[in-house]
Amino acid sequence: MLKTFRIGGIHPKENKFSAGKTIQPIALPKQVMIPLSQHIGAPCQPIVKKGDKVKVGTRLGKSVGFVSANIHSSVSGTVNKIDKVLDASGYKRDAVIIDVEGDEWENAIDRSETVKKEFNFSSREIIEKIAEAGIVGMGGATFPTHVKLTPPPGTKAEVLIINAVECEPYLTSDHELMMEKTEEIFVGVQLLMKAINVPRAVIGIENNKKDAISKFTNVATSYANITIQPLKVQYPQGGEKQLIDAVIRRQVPSGALPISVGAVVQNVGTAFAVYEAVQKNKPLVQRVVTVTGKDVKNPCNILARVGTPLSQLIEFAGGLPETTGKIVSGGPMMGKAIAGIEVPVTKGTSGILIIPTLEAKRKAMKDCIRCGKCVNVCPMGLNPTLLMNLTEYEVWDRAEKNAITDCIECGSCSYTCPADRPLLDYIRLGKGKVMAIVRARKN
């Protein structure tokens, strides 16, 4: 019996159409738009101006504040302007727009493909290099990695858990990366272990990636302190707290950080980015993006530079199908529908999912029939239908008592609701309000 997390969870159809497709680089765009905020936290301060010549890896934005990450140029060329551009949500945010000329890289960056294994770094050096490279959580949450690797005083990490679960249906970018860059990922994991000074690491992989499990198990034989943990396929296993429960059977208390049970979780894509940053001095300027969907001609995994318009990636995958009803950035469960396709790839773009019209439309909300399915599937053990009602009627004190802030926004409740109620939509709103109230009370 394979391990999985113990509370709730669902198993949507996997639909991994792009599995096994090798990662293909995409032609350089004519112009890139690099947003100054691609992470959770404060946006960057731009340090280039119009007319500046930049190379790949030139720093464009300096992180300000504790939770923030640097931004680097993903192309070489001239800065056209710093202006507001539409992001995936339809709001306009500051971005550096660069006209691409050639493909020249900063001299410090090692572009060779050979696997380098140099471990002669101190913990602080590794974290500094990660911060310099602007690495953020590659699973989609985009939390700055160097912050996560700096545990608050008084806490001690015991184990590093690598999230190679990729529990979202459709997406295969992590899977392909694992198959093609196995050695590099292991080096990255070693570096991460060194950074937080833990004696062991566990890589959790869902059982629908059997080839990755066997490949990783083979490689892991030469690393005594890294173990591979195959897991039962269950959504949202990629959630930090769910993965910790699945792998080491510890439950993170309500409102606490994973470090409180001695665990630090990092995504497998982040481990690869750490490898590149520390061994090759390469900042985070490109990532693997899955372009997929039922009617997409050529579902594929693309290595795209940050700032490339999504339209170009969709073109590469065979263009927008006629049946397009909705385009989602990310996976079908936690991804967000985007307002237009002329928006750039960011550090957190794990996939582009094109959903046909027939499946895209949400059904009209009906009355709650009190079946309790949402309560059953909630991986955090919450009562979604109650939280939705409390939000609708703005009963914030009760919403707080019922732990609305523990919601991880996985969407299992909305997925399972037979009355098509927009449970998560309301809970997310309520969560924001309650968090604001809690913050105000603290100050």
Partner 1 sequence: MSILLTAVVTLGVIGAASAAILYLIGQKFKVVEDPRIEQVQEALPAANCGGCGYPGCGGFAAALVKSDTMDGFYCPVGGQATMDKVAEILGRTAAVSAKKIAVVRCNGTCEHRPRVNYYDGASNCAIASSLYGGDTGCSFGCLGLGDCVESCTFDAIHINPETMLPEVVEDKCTACGACVKACPKDLIELRKQGPKSRRIYVSCMNKDKGGVARKSCDVACIGCSKCFQVCPFEAITMENNLAYIDDDKCRLCRKCVPVCPTNSIWELNFPPRKEVKEEAVKAEV
Which residues contact partner 1 by CB under 8 A?
84, 86, 89-92, 336-337, 339-340, 361-362, 365, 422, 425-426, 428-429, 432
Residue type, 131: A
Structure-token match 């290595």, residue found = 303
Least distance to partner 1 from the beta carbon of 433, Å?
9
- Tell the smallest beta-carbon distance from residue 53 to partner 1 (Å): 26
Least gap, CB of 296 to partner 1 (angstroms): 19
For residues 91 and 442, which CB has a smaller minimum distance to partner 1 in the complex? 91
Minimum CB distance to partner 1 smaller for 99 or for 420: 420
Distances (CA, A) of 324 to 70, 156, 292, 344, 357: 35, 49, 12, 19, 6
Q: How far apart are CA 292 and CA 299, in angstroms?
A: 5
- The Cα–Cα gap between 387 and 394 comes to 10
* Residue number with CB closer to partner 1 (18 or 329): 329
Task: Tell the smallest beta-carbon distance from residue 422 to partner 1 (Å).
Answer: 4
Q: Which regions of 197-271 does DSSP assign to beta strands (E)? A: 200-206, 226-231, 263-267
d(CA 265, CA 159): 9
Measured from the CB atom, the residue of 37 and 173 that comes closer to partner 1 is 37
Instruction: Compare residues 2 and 436 and give the one whose CB is closer to partner 1.
Output: 436
Minimum CB separation of residue 196 from partner 1 in Å reads 34
Q: Which is nearer to partner 1, 275 or 426 (CB)?
A: 426
Nearer to partner 1, 40 or 233 (CB): 40
Shortest Cβ 432–partner 1 spacing (Å): 7
State the minimum distance, in angstroms, from the CB of residue 362 to partner 1.
5
Which three-class secondary structure state does DSSP give residue 106? coil
Query: What φ, ψ does residue 204 adopt, rounded to 5°?
Result: -95, 120
| Torsion sign, CA atoms 210, 410, 298, 101 | negative
DSSP string, 216-247: HHHHHTT-TTEEEEEE---BTTTSHHHHHHHH
Nearest to partner 1 of 186, 426 (CB atom): 426
What is the distance between the alpha carbons of residues 78 and 219, in angstroms, rounded to a whole number?
43
Query: Using alpha carbons only, how large is the chain's radius of gyration in Å?
Result: 21
* CB neighbour list of residue 4: distance below 8 Å, 6 or more residues apart: 231, 232, 234, 237, 246
Least distance (Å) from partner 1 to the CB of residue 334? Answer: 13
Residue 96 CA, distance from chain mean position? 22
d(CA 393, CA 223): 55
Closer to partner 1 by CB, 3 or 433: give it: 433
CB of 359 to partner 1, least distance (A): 12
CA-CA distance, 139 to 408, in Å (whole number)?
14
N-term to C-term CA, the chain: 48
